[in-house]
């Protein structure tokens, strides 16, 4: 049976992870993003199953008790998590699955799915990170200062990840990120699953 690869992608706010993942999905049909489940109500324009899987608190807690969450957390009174059943279904379709989570969620994933590969996206400098956050024009100075402090704390965990991509030039960072996915598809284990008959015939 063919089997995809699970990837964990983490990055501080402003590192460009969202844009890189968007390009990956647009470029490579073998890559999907696992949609998180949440108990918060949909915001205007959000579509169930596309932006989040929206559910109620009782159903969410029931899935926790059933062990169906690879990771979950409470944020500002709402529950967020990644359902194992959804991830396993996607992997069984022989696609590479991305989980966009922070380093704490990554720890939970590694415990339950140790074969997952993890990638940390970094900015080229703190100055550039601040410039990007400021350039959004949506946050007050104190909010940007808090985000920078949070980013520094998050970036201390980059050594825990299998790969590091520094997003200085977007196109270069995208090429490096995509190369990780393409190279891992050529690993012996995955090639054996896809081309078992050919490989067996070649060594008879």
Residue 1 pLDDT more than 60? no
What's the rounded mean pLDDT across residues 124-131?
A: 94
Torsion of CA 176, 182, 151, 22, to 10 degrees: 100
Find where tokens 């490096």 sit: 176
Mean pLDDT, the chain, rounded, equals 93
Fold (CATH) for 6-34+96-202: Rossmann fold (3.40.50)
Lowest mean pLDDT among 12-16, 65-69, 82-86, 142-146: 142-146
Give the residues across from 48 on adjacent strands.
52
pLDDT tens digits, 25-45:
999 999 999 999 999 999 999
Residues whose CB falls within 8 Å of the CB of residue 30, separated by 6 or more in sequence, listed in order: 4, 94, 95, 96, 181, 185
Closest listed residue to residue 28, CA positions, set 47, 4, 48: 4
Q: 95, 89 in Cβ contact below 8 A? A: no
DSSP character for 43?
A: P
DSSP for 61-99, written as a single string: HHHHHTT-EEEEEEETTEEEEEEHHHHHHHHHTT-EEEE
Domain ranges for the chain: 6-34+96-202
CA-CA-CA-CA torsion sign (115, 108, 33, 180): negative
Closest listed residue to residue 125, CA positions, set 164, 152, 162, 97: 152
């Amino acid at each position: 049976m063919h089997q995809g690869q699970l990837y964990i992608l983490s990055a501080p706010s402003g590192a460009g992870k969202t844009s890189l993942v968007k390009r990956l999905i647009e470029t490579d049909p073998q890559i999907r993003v696992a949609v998180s489940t949440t108990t918060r109500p949909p915001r205007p324009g959000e579509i169930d199953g596309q932006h989040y899987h929206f559910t109620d608190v009782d159903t969410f807690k029931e899935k926790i008790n059933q062990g169906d969450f690879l990771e979950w957390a409470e944020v500002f009174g709402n529950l967020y998590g990644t359902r194992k059943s959804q991830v396993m279904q996607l992997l069984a379709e022989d696609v590479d699955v991305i989980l966009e989570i922070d380093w704490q969620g990554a720890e939970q994933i590694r415990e339950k799915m140790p074969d997952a590969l993890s990638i940390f996206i970094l900015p080229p400098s703190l100055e550039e990170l601040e410039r990007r956050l400021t350039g959004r024009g949506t946050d007050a100075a104190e909010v940007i200062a808090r985000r920078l402090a949070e980013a520094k704390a998050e970036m201390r965990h980059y050594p825990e990840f299998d790969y590091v991509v520094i997003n200085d030039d977007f196109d270069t960072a995208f090429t490096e990120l995509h190369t990780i996915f393409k190279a891992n598809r050529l690993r012996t284990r995955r090639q054996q699953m896809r081309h078992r008959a050919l490989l067996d015939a070649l060594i008879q």
